[in-house]
Amino acid sequence: MDESLVERVLVAVELIPAGRVASYGDIAGLLGIGPRQVGAIMRHHGAGVPWWRVTSHAGDLPAPLLRRAADRWAEEGITVKPNGLGCRINQYRLDLVAWADAWDRAIAAQEKPGNPS
DNA sequence: ACTATGACAGACG
DNA sequence: TCGTCTGCCATAG
């Protein structure tokens, strides 16, 4: 298990501002890994970070998590529309660019100061 | 080294 | 809109 990779994912999640959400794929894309890796990491290391701000591309989550997430979303003013099994978040994808910049700076800060080629 | 699997994403029918 | 198949990267057998 590459702890540094885990760290990248957790940081990315923490950088998502309240009231905003990003998909696994969005984060995975920025990290250059597979979206499933983000989910796998969140499952094992999700505690401690605003995991409810990370959803599938459809804006839904596994039943147990969706329940808790919905509660958090309500607090952050994220509107959700019940849709059978899952839920759909309003334009969640557009919010990624808003925190992508902050993410980039944070990742750069994590890079070893003395580890350039 | 190979195969199966995963809190997923995108294309298809 | 929904179910299925394929692609993605890393981890577990």
As a rounded value in angstroms, the CA-to-C1' distance for A34 and C7 is: 10
Q: Identify whether the C-beta of residue A88 lies closer than 8 Å to the C-beta of residue A81.
A: yes
Record the pTM: 0.79
Taking the C1' atom of C9, which residue's CA lies nearest? A34
Which nucleotide's C1' sits nearest to the alpha carbon of A41? B7
DSSP per-residue codes, A2-61: -HHHHHHHHHHHHTSPTT--EEHHHHHHHHTS-HHHHHHHHHHH-TTS-GGGEE-TTS--
Taking the C1' atom of B5, which residue's CA lies nearest? A36
What local confidence, expressed as pLDDT, does residue A94 receive? 47
Cα A50 vs. chain centroid, distance in angstroms? Answer: 8
What local confidence, expressed as pLDDT, does residue A90 receive? 53
Which nucleotide's C1' sits nearest to the alpha carbon of A52? B7
- For chain A, 117 residues long, give each residue's pLDDT as a single digit of tens: 667 788 888 888 888 888 778 889 888 888 888 899 999 999 888 888 999 988 887 777 887 888 888 888 888 877 776 553 445 665 444 455 545 555 566 555 555 455 443
Q: Identify whether the C-beta of residue A95 lies closer than 8 Å to the C-beta of residue A20.
A: yes
Burial class of A58 by CB neighbour count within 10 A (0 to 12, 13 to 18, 19+)? middle
